[in-house]
Chains A and B, each alone.
Chain A
Amino acid sequence: MEMTITEKILASHAGAEQVKPGELVNCKVDIALANDITAPISVKEFNRVGAKKVFDKERVVLVMDHFAPAKDIASANQIKVVRDFAKDQGIINFWADGRMGVEHAILPEQGLVGPGDLVIGADSHTCTYGALGAFAAGVGSNDLAAAMITGEAWYKVPETILFELKGKPGKWISGKDIILNIIGKIGVDGALYKSMEYKGDAIEHLSMDDRFTIANMAVEAGAKNGIFHPDGKTREYVEGRFKREAKYYESDVDAKYCERIEVNVGELEPQVAFPHLPSNVKGISEVGDIMVDQVVVGSCTNGRYSDLETVANLIKGKKMASNIRLIVIPATPAIQREAMSNGLIDIFMDAGAVVSTPTCGPCLGGYMGILADGEKALTTTNRNFVGRMGSRKSEIYLASPAVAAATAITGKISSPEEVA
């Protein structure tokens, strides 16, 4: 049938035998997601058109994570709008307060999304679930409102770029280094409107957390979605976790790609994205001496357990440099609890770090670590646009958790080799 995994998932949800790039399809959605910033507009639209009920109260997921726990009165009012809506509609998947985690970490963790799903989310990083072999794409609040009401969404079938990941990643090479390297190569619109599909012998060496990170940043290259083929690790991850029946799709051997790009991950060194674009990427050996003020470990990109573990292993028994503020934000309560049980939180606090409850917080300049004029941050988050984390006169460098840990110890952007 010559279809890619993305085309197969779109076809199955459109009730079609086959779909081709460029075709417009109306698809049934498995999950419709919104957060405390995007949901209030969706709720407003839902009421404005006189809708009475969401299409399925188990398949609408609302996560209060961006400015929550409420950072001020205005954000408290926004959360209240969504809280009341969830209550009125009997929405089971309202994730807030002590249950709340960063949306793209908590949905896979709690088994709300899985292989073969079609997920629509009013958040650009919805593409994260492609790591599970799902089609997931971000939209705005109107599209999400329409999906909440009808259970359907329209898509233009994207062309697909195939990324062949080859080799065995070195000790300090994570999913973050791979995706930063790719964005550095193709640019912030290098995959505009397209699907980024990953194949190759390097993938067996990548953990699910690495794959979530890679799929998460597809939007930073302008892509509609990023997607992996499910394998043994995927099955192991979803078994006993995913609440519905998983559907494992694979691209046909004769599937059509608009471009093929080979990435030898065995040759990569840790990557750093310089201000003010995620594509402004250099290898760690070319960085030079850059002192920073703040290091952040967290977000939907790199706030998972293995990210925290990498940082803890590197900073254990060491003190942070005197010029550094280190802020660690576990992405979900389960991650936070595991980090606590295994002594990671003690390691962070002994080193002098701030440990926060789960939130998107500083990643988008919300709260919990805003930058002052002239300050520099090295962060494991996903965007380094002007003013993203605070003052428009601040600077953001993006890197992996290992580089973040090394930087916290030395006070300047450093390779983990220097401190291991």
Chain B
Amino acid sequence: MAFKGKAHTFGDDIDTDAIIPARYLVSTDPKELAKHLMEDADPEFPQKVRAGDIIVARKNFGCGSSREHAPIAIKGAGVSCVIAKSYARIFYRNSFNMGLPIFESDEAAEKIEQGDKLEVDMDSGLIKNLTKGEEYQASAIPPFMQDLIKTGGLMAAVKKKIGA
């Protein structure tokens, strides 16, 4: 499976308040939350983002609060995946639990520029920059996380376990 989309670039330490400000946490609806995605980092972002687009950030993406509304809003806006140098741990865990594909690559995070067209292979983690004609390899997804994705996320695994 491959994702194709336009890159939207961000800097270091993008926190979950920037991804989805707390003032909007009175809803859990993906479409409603998506209307305010990244608003405090870039107020124009909700208007600019298109289905399939890819968020590219530097280190420690998703730091701060545990709010799952952050990956929900990203998915709700139709963003296909996120590429960053590193992720805050709760955001990392939430993304896998919710089935939001996220990739780690220093090279991709440094070389990709705003508006570059990208193609990301889900299984191999190979990131192609179609605008620049470059390729970057993301770190392999740990086997445990791969199993979680194959089962359909954490709650699917729980459902299987309780036999409901």
A interface residues (Cβ-Cβ under 8 A, vs B): 24, 37-38, 40-41, 44-45, 48-52, 66-67, 72, 74-75, 78, 122-124, 126, 138-143, 145-146, 149-150, 154, 188-189, 192-193, 219, 222, 224, 277, 364-366, 383, 385-388, 392
Contacts and interface: CB of A to CB of B under 8 A. Distances in A.
B154 interface: yes
B88 A365 contact: no
Q: Report, nearest first, the 3 A-B pairs whose CB atoms are least far apart.
A: A74-B26, A50-B164, A140-B94
Nearest to A142: B97
A124 B66 contact: yes
Nearest to A78: B26
Contacts of B113: none
A364 B66 CA distance: 12
Contacts of A143: 93-94, 97, 154
30 contacts: A24-B144, A37-B22, A37-B67, A38-B68, A40-B28, A49-B156, A49-B158, A49-B159, A50-B159, A66-B22, A67-B26, A74-B26, A124-B66, A138-B66, A138-B90, A140-B66, A141-B68, A142-B97, A142-B98, A146-B157, A188-B13, A189-B88, A222-B63, A222-B89, A277-B13, A364-B65, A365-B21, A383-B65, A392-B40, A392-B43
Q: How large is the interface on B (under 10, 10 to 19, 20 to 34, 35 or more residues)?
A: 35 or more
Contact of B161 (A37, A38, A150): A150
Interface in B1-50: 13, 15, 17-18, 21-23, 25-28, 39-41, 43
Contacts of B89: 192-193, 222, 224
B93 A139 contact: yes
Given A41-B68, A140-B67, A49 B162 contact: yes
Interface string B125-159: 00000000000000000001000000001111111
B64 A45 contact: no
B60 interface: yes
A192 B86 contact: yes
A49 B43 contact: no
B117 interface: no
Given A140-B93, A188-B60, A387-B18, 15 more contacts: A37-B67, A38-B68, A45-B155, A50-B159, A66-B25, A122-B68, A124-B64, A139-B93, A139-B94, A140-B90, A140-B97, A143-B94, A189-B60, A189-B88, A365-B21
